[in-house]
C-alpha cells in the first residue's frame, strides 16, 4: 500500500536566533563580518586606509604639542616673534595634513564598507536561491525579509561608521599615549587614572546591552513576519472583522520589542553620561596636578596645556569606543541571523556523479518508496505504482489525504528515505535537479505573478523565450483576448501577485507561462479551484492543450476535472486505495464511487453509511 501526507506541521521547527541566555558569539560574528569588508581583494584598500589614517592622526597628535610650545613662547619674556610664527605655521600644516588624509581615509573606508555590504547581501540572497523547499516551509517570509532588510541595515551601519571610527579611535589612543609618556610620564599617569573606570563601565554596559540587542533583532523579525502575513491576508481579516484582533496582536508583539529595546538602548545610552563625567574628572585632575607641578618648577605651562589637549584627544576616542560598541553589538546580533541563512545548506543536492535527465517518453515507476518529513515518522511506506508514457493521471482524495506529497517527491522537493523512483528508467536521485525540473512543468493552485509586465511574466518560464512564443502560448491558454483588453496589452504592468487581475485570469496566464516553458511532463495542483464555471471551462481547455501528448498529473477536489484522465489515483489517509480509469472505479462502487456520489449528490450512495466510507487525513 502507499501512504502519503501533506502534513506541513510535521516539518522540523525553523531555526531560531540566539537566545538571550545563549553563549555570546558576537566576537566571532563581528570578525566574520569584517572579513567581507577587509578580506580578499579589499586588503590593499584596507592597507591604504590604515596608512592614510595613521598619517592623519600624526597631524592631529602634533597639534597639542605645537600649541604647548607656542604657549611657552608667549609666556616667555624673551620669546621671539619669528619662533612663534614657526609654531603657528607648523600648526596650520599639521591641521591641513589631518584634514587631507582624513578625507582620503574616510573615502577609502566608505568604498570598502559599500563593497562589503554588497558581497554580504549578494551571498545571502544567492544562498537563499539554492535552498530546498523544506527551508521555506519552515521559515516564514517575514523572517527572511527581515534578514535581507533589517539585519542587513544594522550591518551596514557597522560597516559605514563603526569599523572606520573604531580603527581611528584605537590608533589615536595608542599614538597619544606614546607621546604623553615621552613628554611627561607623571602627568600621563594622572591622565590615565579614570581610564580603568571608563573601561569597566563599557564592559558592564556591553554585558547588559549585548544579549538585549540580540533578542531585539529576533523580535523585529517576528514583527516583520506578522506584518507581512496580516497584510497578505487582509481580505480574510476584513471579511471576518478581525481588525481589532490584528491590532491587539500586533501591539502585543511591538510591546515585546519596546520592552527589549528599552533595555538595550537604555544601557547603551548610559555610556554617554558616564564617559562624559569621567572625561570631566580626567581634565580636572590634569589641570590641578599640572598647575601644582608648574608651581614647583617640575614642568612648564606649555606642557600642561599640551596635556590638557591630549587628555581631551584621549578621552574622545575612549568615549567613542563606548558609543560604537552599541553599533557593534547590534551588528553582531543581525550578522548572526544573516550567517544562519548563509550557512544553511540545501537538503536536496545533486550526487557527485549526477547525470542530465534524458527524456524518453515520461515513463514513471515508484518502487518500494519510503518517505518521512521527520526522521522516524514514516509517511510513505513501500509505495509501488507505475505511470506509462503519455498517460494523464488524476489524483483525488479528501483534504490532507497525501496528494501533494507524491508530487513533492516526484519533483524532488524532498528526498525519499528508501526505495527507488525511476523516470524513463533513470534513477531520480542520480539526475541533476535542474535537468529534471526543466522537463516537469507545474501549475499551482495559487497563481503567482511577479510585479512586472504580462509579457515578462510569460517569458519568465524559459530563458531566451521570445515575444512570439509568449503570444502563441497565451492564445492556446485562452488568455490572449483579455490580455489585449488590458490598458497596455502585453506591456501592462501587473501589481504584486497579479492582484489587478481576477483569479481565473491569473491562472490562465500561469498556464500560458507553463506552455512557454514547453516541459515534457506536467503537474497541475488544483489549478481550477476558486473560479466560476465559464472560466473553469476556458482553463480546462488550456490545460488539455498543455497536457496533450505529455505524461501528466492533475490534483483535484472537483472530480469532474479529472474524470477523463487515463487513470485516477485515489488516496485516503495517505494510502492509494484505488488506481484505475473513471468508469472502472465507478463500476467497482468503492471509495471513489462514494466520493464521487457524495460530491455530486451531496451524500454517499445507498448502502454506504458513515461507517462504510471514512475520509482520513494524515
Domains of the chain, residue spans: 34-342, 363-439+555-618
Q: What is the model's pLDDT at position 9?
A: 33
pLDDT at 238: 75
Tell me what pLDDT residue 355 has.
92
Per residue, the 3-state secondary structure of 306-368, as one string, reads: HHHHHHHHHHHHHHHHHHHHHHHHHHHHHHHHHHHHHCCCCCCCCCCCCECCCCCCCCEEEEE
Q: What letter does residue 374 receive in the DSSP assignment?
A: B
Alpha carbon dihedral 284, 289, 293, 299, in 10-degree steps, equals -60
Classified as helix, coil or strand, 160 is: helix
> Which element (helix H / strand E) includes 441?
strand 440-443
Give the confidence band of 616 by pLDDT, cuts at 50, 70, 90: low
Chain-centre distance for alpha carbon 532? 38
Q: How confident is the model at residue 18 (pLDDT cuts 50, 70, 90)?
A: very low
The mean pLDDT of 301-319, rounded to a whole number, is 80
What per-residue confidence (pLDDT) applies to 336? 87
Q: Which three cell numbers stand for residue 377?
A: 515518522
Q: Regarding predicted confidence, which is higher, 358 or 544?
A: 358
**In terms of C-beta density within 10 A (0-12 exposed, 13-18 middle, 19 or more buried), how is residue 97 classed?**
middle
* 363-439+555-618 CATH, one of 3.40.630.40, 1.10.286.10, 2.40.30.10, 3.40.50.300: 3.40.50.300
> Residue 17's pLDDT band (boundaries 50, 70, 90)?
very low
pLDDT at residue number 5: 32
Which of 152-156, 267-271, 399-403, 476-480 has maximum average pLDDT?
476-480
Interatomic CA distance for residues 424 and 521, integer angstroms = 12
Q: Which of 411, 417, 409, 396 is nearest to 555 (CA)?
A: 396
Q: List all residues 6 or more positions away from 454 whose beta carbon is below 8 Å from its beta carbon.
A: 483, 486, 489, 490, 491, 492, 494, 509
For residues 164 and 109, the answer to whether their CB atoms sit within 8 Å is yes
Residues 246-272 as b or e (16 or more Cβ within 10 Å = b): beeeeeebbebbeebbebbbebbebbe
pLDDT at res. 566: 92
CB 61 within 8 A of CB 100: no
Q: How confident is the model at residue 147 (pLDDT cuts 50, 70, 90)?
A: low
Three-state DSSP class for residue 485: coil
Neighbours of 611 (CB within 10 A): 6
Instruction: Answer whether 56's CB lies under 8 Å from 97's CB.
Output: yes
Q: Is 580 in contact with 589 (CB distance < 8 Å)?
A: no
Give the CA distances from residue 252 to residues 221, 266, 429, in Å, rounded to whole numbers and listed in that order: 14, 21, 47
Hey, which bits of 508-566 come out as E strands? 521-525, 551-555
Taking the C-alpha atoms of residue 531 and residue 469, their distance in angstroms, rounded to an integer, is: 26
How far, CA to CA in Å, does 106 sit from each of 50, 51, 117, 335, 613? 10, 12, 16, 23, 76
pLDDT, greater one: 492 or 26: 492
Is the predicted pLDDT of residue 241 greater than 50, yes or no? Answer: yes
C-alpha cell at 285: 585632575
For residue 393, give the C-alpha cell.
Answer: 493521471
Asked if the model's pLDDT at residue 513 lies above 80, the reply is yes
Is 371 in contact with 438 (CB distance < 8 Å)? no
When mean pLDDT is compared over 230-244, 261-275, 326-340, 460-474, the highest value belongs to 460-474
Output the pLDDT for position 425.
Answer: 93
CATH of domain 34-342: 1.20.1560.10
Q: Is the pLDDT of residue 528 over 70?
A: no
Q: Enumerate helices (H) and strands (E) in the chain, giving the number of each.
A: 22, 10
* Nearest Cα to Cα of residue 321 among 174, 215, 179, 154: 174
Amino acid at each position: 500500500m502507499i501512504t502519503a501526507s501533506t502534513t506541513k506541521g510535521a516539518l522540523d521547527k525553523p531555526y531560531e536566533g540566539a537566545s538571550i541566555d545563549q553563549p555570546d558569539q558576537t566576537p566571532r560574528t563581528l570578525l566574520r563580518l569584517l572579513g567581507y569588508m577587509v578580506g580578499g581583494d579589499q586588503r590593499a584598500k584596507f592597507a591604504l586606509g590604515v596608512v592614510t589614517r595613521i598619517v592623519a592622526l600624526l597631524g592631529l597628535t602634533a597639534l597639542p604639542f605645537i600649541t604647548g610650545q607656542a604657549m611657552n613662547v608667549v609666556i616667555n619674556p624673551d620669546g621671539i616673534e619669528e619662533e612663534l610664527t614657526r609654531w603657528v605655521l607648523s600648526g596650520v600644516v599639521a591641521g591641513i595634513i589631518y584634514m587631507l588624509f582624513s578625507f582620503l581615509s574616510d573615502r577609502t573606508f566608505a568604498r570598502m564598507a559599500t563593497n562589503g555590504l554588497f558581497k554580504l547581501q549578494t551571498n545571502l540572497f544567492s544562498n537563499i536561491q539554492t535552498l530546498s523547499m523544506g527551508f521555506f516551509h519552515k521559515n516564514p517570509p517575514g523572517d527572511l525579509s527581515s534578514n535581507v532588510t533589517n539585519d542587513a541595515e544594522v550591518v551596514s551601519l557597522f560597516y559605514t561608521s563603526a569599523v572606520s571610527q573604531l580603527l581611528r579611535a584605537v590608533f589615536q589612543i595608542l599614538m597619544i599615549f606614546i607621546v604623553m609618556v615621552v613628554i611627561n610620564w607623571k602627568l600621563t599617569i594622572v591622565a590615565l587614572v579614570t581610564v580603568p573606570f571608563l573601561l569597566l563601565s563599557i564592559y558592564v554596559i556591553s554585558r547588559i546591552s549585548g544579549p538585549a540587542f540580540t533578542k531585539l533583532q529576533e523580535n523585529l523579525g517576528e514583527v516583520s513576519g506578522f506584518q507581512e502575513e496580516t497584510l497578505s491576508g487582509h481580505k480574510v481579516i476584513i471579511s471576518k472583522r478581525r481588525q481589532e484582533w490584528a491590532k491587539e496582536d500586533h501591539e502585543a508583539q511591538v510591546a515585546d520589542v519596546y520592552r527589549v529595546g528599552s533595555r538595550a538602548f537604555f544601557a547603551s545610552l548610559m555610556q554617554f553620561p558616564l564617559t562624559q563625567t569621567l572625561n570631566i574628572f580626567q581634565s580636572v585632575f590634569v589641570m590641578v596636578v599640572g598647575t601644582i607641578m608648574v608651581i614647583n618648577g617640575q614642568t612648564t605651562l606649555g606642557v600642561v596645556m599640551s596635556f590638557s589637549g591630549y587628555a581631551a584627544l584621549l578621552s574622545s576616542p575612549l568615549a567613542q569606543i563606548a558609543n560604537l560598541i552599541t553599533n557593534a553589538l547590534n551588528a553582531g546580533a543581525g550578522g548572526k541571523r544573516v550567517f544562519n541563512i548563509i550557512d544553511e545548506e540545501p537538503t536536496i543536492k545533486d550526487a557527485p556523479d549526477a547525470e542530465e535527465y534524458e527524456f524518453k517518453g515520461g515513463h514513471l515507476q515508484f518502487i518500494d518508496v519510503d518517505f518521512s518529513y521527520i526522521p522516524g515518522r514514516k509517511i510513505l511506506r513501500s509505495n509501488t505504482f507505475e505511470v506509462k508514457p503519455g498517460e494523464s493521471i488524476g489524483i483525488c482524495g479528501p483534504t490532507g489525504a497525501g496528494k501533494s506529497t507524491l508530487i513533492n517527491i516526484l519533483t524532488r522537493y524532498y528526498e525519499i528515505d528508501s526505495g527507488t523512483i525511476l523516470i524513463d528508467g533513470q534513477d531520480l536521485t542520480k539526475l541533476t535537479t535542474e535537468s529534471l525540473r526543466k522537463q516537469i512543468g507545474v501549475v499551482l493552485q495559487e497563481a503567482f505573478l511577479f510585479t512586472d509586465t504580462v509579457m515578462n511574466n510569460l517569458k519568465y518560464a524559459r530563458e531566451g523565450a521570445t515575444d512570439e512564443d509568449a503570444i502563441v502560448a497565451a492564445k492556446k491558454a485562452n488568455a490572449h483576448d483579455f490580455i489585449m483588453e488590458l490598458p497596455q496589452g502585453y506591456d501592462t504592468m501587473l501589481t504584486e501577485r497579479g492582484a489587478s487581475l481576477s483569479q481565473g485570469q491569473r491562472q490562465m496566464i500561469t498556464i500560458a507561462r507553463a506552455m512557454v516553458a514547453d516541459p515534457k511532463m506536467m503537474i497541475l495542483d488544483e489549478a481550477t479551484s476558486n473560479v466560476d464555471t465559464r472560466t473553469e471551462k476556458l482553463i480546462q481547455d488550456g490545460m488539455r492543450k498543455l497536457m496533450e501528448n505529455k505524461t501528466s498529473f492533475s490534483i483535484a477536489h472537483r472530480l469532474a476535472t479529472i474524470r477523463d484522465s487515463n487513470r485516477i489515483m485515489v488516496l485516503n489517509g495517505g494510502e492509494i486505495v484505488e488506481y484505475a480509469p473513471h468508469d472502472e472505479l465507478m463500476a467497482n462502487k468503492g471509495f471513489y464511487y462514494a466520493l464521487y456520489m457524495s460530491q455530486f449528490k451531496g451524500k454517499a450512495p445507498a448502502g454506504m453509511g458513515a461507517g462504510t466510507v471514512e475520509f482520513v487525513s494524515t
